[in-house]
């Protein structure tokens, strides 16, 4: 199976009858009900990967790589992992191409996704099947994942069952960010939804911050103007528009140097109701 063979085998069970699973050459089989779990290479497929999505490319990630929001997420997760015991068992849900593998390489981690990326240990949609034993994990990561889950409440209920008492659900979710990984981009949740969503499923909200970066929206807006609107203008109009956009970019660069990067704050401390995204930590009661 995968490089995480021991922790995977210790954590999984038949999602139909909760019986033990035995490894065979062609996949896994439940010794109680006979359910078969096929393999994709070495990756068990507890649910069928969706069709019609464009697989993500492998990109280099790090604390100073990518958009300000991605860099903020890296710092957030690094801080949260530092609070966990080194032997804590972690489930990385929606792990994709392993964006945070550099932070998790020496941890007890199972990587899960709905698509069989090479970096994934298990393929499963947890709203359709749950192959893990109750209370298997000390922490679950949802790093830019929750927006891709249509059945949000069923998903949160499933995750809550997998956490041990006082285990942590660590969440980063975009808010004022364009759609991505289309067509599996379903929701944006406000701070008020996030405050209710955890307690509704036995999870106390320990921390909630918004990441506020107004200049991010300016950059997004100028990019949209350049790519979506300028091509439709007449030649002389495009010349004027490019000149004005260049001036806007110079102003944006000057403001960025004065204001500095975006910052994470509790929403109550900030007048803006338009964060780039939210960072939340829930604790299993």
Looking at the chain, the number of H-run helices and the number of E-run strands are: 7, 12
Measured distance CA(32)–CA(30) in Å, rounded = 5
Measured distance CA(276)–CA(285) in Å, rounded = 29
pLDDT in tens, 97-113: 999 999 999 999 999 99
| Residue 251 belongs to domain spanning | 214-259
Q: Check whether residue 19 and residue 135 sit in a common domain.
A: no
Task: State the first-to-last Cα distance of the chain, in angstroms, to the nearest integer.
Answer: 34
Measured distance CA(91)–CA(255) in Å, rounded = 40
pLDDT in tens, 57-79: 998 899 999 889 999 999 999 99
Q: What pLDDT is stored for residue 283 in this prediction?
A: 98
pLDDT in tens, 141-196: 999 999 999 999 999 999 999 999 999 999 999 999 988 888 889 999 999 999 99
Cβ atoms < 10 Å from Cβ of 55: 12
CA-based radius of gyration for the chain? 21
Q: Check whether residue 35 and residue 125 sit in a common domain.
A: no
Please report whether residue 57 resides in a domain.
no
Please report whether residue 25 resides in a domain.
yes
Helices (H), 59-151: 68-82, 101-104
Measured distance CA(74)–CA(35) in Å, rounded = 39
For residue 160, the domain's CATH number is 3.40.50.150
> Is the pLDDT reported for residue 1 higher than 70?
no
**What value does the mean pLDDT of the chain take?**
93
Please report whether residue 107 resides in a domain.
yes
Q: Check whether residue 129 and residue 159 sit in a common domain.
A: yes
Please report whether residue 275 resides in a domain.
yes
C-beta separation of 144 from 174 below 8 A? yes
Q: Check whether residue 91 and residue 158 sit in a common domain.
A: yes
Q: What is the mean predicted confidence (pLDDT) over 88-99?
A: 97
Q: What pLDDT is stored for residue 13 in this prediction?
A: 97
Please report whether residue 52 resides in a domain.
no
Q: What pLDDT is stored for residue 210 in this prediction?
A: 97
Measured distance CA(117)–CA(112) in Å, rounded = 9
- The number of distinct structural domains making up the chain is 3
Q: Check whether residue 97 and residue 153 sit in a common domain.
A: yes
Q: What is the pTM of this model?
A: 0.92
Q: How many residues does the chain have?
A: 285
What is the layout of strands, in order, in the sheet containing 163-174? 122-123, 108-113, 89-93, 137-143, 163-174, 277-284, 203-212, 263-265
| 3-class state of residue 231 by DSSP | helix
* Nearest to 222, CA basis, from 195, 255, 248, 190: 248
DSSP code of residue 154: H
Please report whether residue 140 resides in a domain.
yes
C-beta separation of 171 from 281 below 8 A? yes
Please report whether residue 235 resides in a domain.
yes
């Amino acid at each position: 199976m995968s490089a995480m063979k021991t922790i995977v085998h210790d954590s999984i069970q038949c999602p139909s009858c909760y019986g033990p699973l035995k490894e065979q050459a062609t996949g896994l089989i439940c010794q109680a009900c006979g359910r078969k779990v096929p393999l994709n290479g070495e990756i068990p497929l507890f649910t069928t990967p969706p069709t019609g999505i464009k697989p993500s490319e492998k990109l280099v990630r790090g604390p100073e790589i990518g958009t300000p929001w991605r860099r903020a997420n890296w710092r957030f997760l690094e801080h949260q992992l530092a609070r966990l015991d080194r032997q804590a068992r972690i489930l990385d849900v929606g792990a994709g191409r392993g964006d945070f593998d550099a932070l998790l390489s020496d941890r007890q981690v199972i990587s899960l996704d709905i698509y069989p990326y090479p970096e994934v240990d298990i393929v499963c949609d947890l709203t359709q099947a749950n192959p893990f034993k109750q209370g298997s994990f000390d922490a679950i990561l949802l790093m830019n994942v929750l927006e891709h889950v249509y059945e949000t409440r069923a998903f949160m209920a499933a995750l809550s069952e997998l956490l041990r008492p006082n285990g942590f659900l660590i969440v980063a979710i975009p808010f004022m960010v364009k759609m991505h990984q289309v067509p599996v981009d379903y929701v944006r949740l406000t701070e008020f939804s996030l405050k209710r969503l955890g307690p509704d499923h036995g999870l106390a909200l320990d921390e909630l911050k918004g990441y506020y970066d107004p200049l991010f929206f300016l950059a997004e807006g100028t990019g949209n103007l350049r790519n979506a609107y300028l091509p439709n203008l007449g030649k002389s109009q495009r010349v004027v528009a490019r000149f004005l956009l260049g001036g806007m970019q110079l102003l944006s660069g000057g403001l960025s140097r004065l204001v500095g990067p975006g910052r994470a704050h509790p929403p109550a401390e900030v007048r803006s109701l338009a964060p780039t995204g939210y960072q939340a930590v829930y604790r299993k009661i």
